[in-house]
Amino acid sequence: MAIAFLFLLPRGDHGFFTVLREALLRETARRLVDRLVITHREVPAFDAGALAAELGRINPDDYDCVALIGVDSADLDKAIARLVASSLPVITLVSDSASDLRQSYIGIDNVIAGRTAGRLMRLTHCDRGGKVLPILGTMGVRDHRERLQGAAEVVTAAGSGLQILPPIEVQDRPEIMLGRLSDILQGDPDITGIYSIGGGNRGLIEFLDRIDGPRPVAVLHELTPHSRAALERGVIDAVIDQKPAEEISRAIDAMRAIADDLPVPDSRVVPTIYLADNLPDQNANGGWT
């Protein structure tokens, strides 16, 4: 008898989520020999109401476990609680939520990822003065808040000459990113560092490509075709990658263990820091680079 899993993933033209979906499709085909039937549905990114509604449409008898990317919302917590009460386990990946209800969280420690970005900013500034602009998708998801928290802890620690500016929210949309950056950098030319916490980085890369002369240090998340090319051209400085293919594989392993009533294996993912000098081979991540 086959075991059925459902993934709910954000839709849209988003580099990281595209990579995540592609990783899921590859892993789905690979796991057929294990009698695993894995399907996925797409929901609007950061839309807790749409995600809760999609959970409400699930028949608990149809699946053995559900995986989703968490968003903070009372409605979403209630929808998760309904499934759990119906004996359908739920796990989160990438960004956690409903930690008292879900069975497991698969992903990186986002506070540590943010602290890593802050450390990179301090190293590149050599503790000289400067201003760091954080850019995130939304404060409504835990992973973005935790990365911001971690970065701020290091950037503003004793001995640092850096100042961290109030974050701007761009909903992971490149066109919003590009417009906001143009306005802010024109108004404050003393910004020396940009930390992009979420997505929409094609807008950031386009903005940095336009700069004639010295540019701010740029640290961002996720190795996608766009961020890889930008590293190779020297347009950005570092990428903190949470290894989406590994996240998907670990998520399926956790779901299989839950379905078999076995202990859940280690769910921690250790991110990789990529610079222009240590990029993986073109096909090292399943051919997406």
Mean pLDDT of the residues in the chain:
94
- Same domain (yes/no): 119, 215: yes
Q: What is the pLDDT of residue 123?
A: 96
Q: Is residue 223 part of a domain?
A: yes
Does residue 276 lie in a domain region? no
pLDDT band at residue 286 using 50, 70 and 90 as cut-offs:
very low
Domain co-membership, 175 together with 222: yes
Quote the strand ranges of 33-188, DSSP E.
36-43, 65-68, 90-93, 104-106, 130-136, 162-164, 168-169
Task: Tell whether 86 and 141 lie within a shared domain.
Answer: no
**Position 275 in a domain:** no
* Domain assignment of residue 285, yes or no: no
Domain that holds residue 36: 3-107+244-269
Same domain, 116 and 227: yes
Report the candidate in 39, 190, 219 with the shortest Cα–Cα distance to residue 114: 219
Q: Which residue has the tokens 């839709």?
A: 11
Element (H, E) at 56: helix 48-56
Within a domain: 153: yes
CA gap 56, 48 in Å, rounded: 12
> Does residue 47 belong to any structural domain of this protein?
yes
200, 207 Cβ separation under 8 angstroms: no
Number of domains in the chain: 2
Q: How far apart are CA 22 and CA 206, in angstroms?
A: 25
Could you tell me if residue 288 is inside a domain? Answer: no
Please state which of the ranges 8-12, 92-96, 153-157 shows the lowest mean pLDDT: 8-12
147 shares its domain with 73: no
Residues 172 and 134 in one domain: yes
Work out the average pLDDT over 161-187. Answer: 95
Are residues 115 and 145 both part of a single domain?
Answer: yes
> Is 119 found in the same domain as 205?
yes
Going by C-alpha positions, the residue among 272, 222, 192 that lies closest to residue 19 is: 222
Domain end, chosen from 205, 225, 241, is at 241
Looking at residue 283, its pLDDT comes to 60
- What's the whole-model pTM score? 0.92
- For residue 289, what pLDDT band results from cuts at 50, 70 and 90? very low
Interatomic CA distance for residues 271 and 240, integer angstroms: 6
Q: Clarify whether residues 56 and 19 are in a common domain.
A: yes
Rg of the chain over Cα atoms, rounded to whole angstroms, equals 20
Nearest to 132 by CA among 161, 165, 180, 157: 165
> What CATH code is carried by the domain that includes residue 8?
3.40.50.2300
Per-residue pLDDT at 282: 72
pLDDT in tens, 226-244: 999 999 999 999 999 999 9
Would you say residue 232 lies in a domain? yes
Q: Are residues 116 and 236 in the same domain?
A: yes
Structure tokens at 69: 């990317």
Residue 115 shares a structural domain with residue 217:
yes
Q: pLDDT value at position 284?
A: 53
